[in-house]
Amino acid sequence: MNSHGQNEQQVVWTVVGTDIGPLLLAATHDGLVNVVFHATDAVRDKALDRLASRLGSEPAEAPDSPLLAEPICQVTAYFAGERRDFELPLDWSLISGFNRQVLRELASGVPYGAVVGYGDLAGRVGQPGAAQAVGVAMGSNPLPVVVPCHRVVERDGGIGGFGGGLETKRKLLALEGVLPEPLF
């Protein structure tokens, strides 16, 4: 335990270049704990401070850590079009309650190349009137791309919002064949 009475756990991180920009990947012994879009220095530093506060341990940059080897490999393969499903241990400690329930359903029940509506996803977790709450859960997803919140869209065919930006969401959906590739 640290001086705040929290259990400390090792947190390692690295930044991986992708077609949607740099992604910060952070892992603990339990699994991948955080994926952060647009991991410029300022975004990265803010994310690492948040992780340290939430997990009680200062994250260590460790691109060669065995804890990150498989996440790096699978994320790289996904963006190369060589992987459709992530098979990684996930550390869900940054999210709880309804949001965790929704994200677990999303991770297991909405495959590559498919989309689901906010309301449909709410219904899958037994809360058919909770479409807006599903939107909140998507916005708080600590594991975007791996837990595919980009696959959640509006009922009327709109693509909805996205914490990584709409252009990033479009690129991810195009990669998965849901949308056409941008012309330029």
**Is 153:110 a contact under the CB 8 Å cutoff?**
no
Tell me which DSSP letter residue 148 carries: -
What's at 119, amino acid-wise? G
**Is 166:173 a contact under the CB 8 Å cutoff?**
no
Catalytic residue selected from 39, 47, 68, 149: 149
- State the Cα–Cα distance between residues 128 and 110, nearest whole angstrom: 17
Active site residue 149: yes
- State the Cα–Cα distance between residues 15 and 23, nearest whole angstrom: 5
Q: Active-site residues: which are they? A: 149
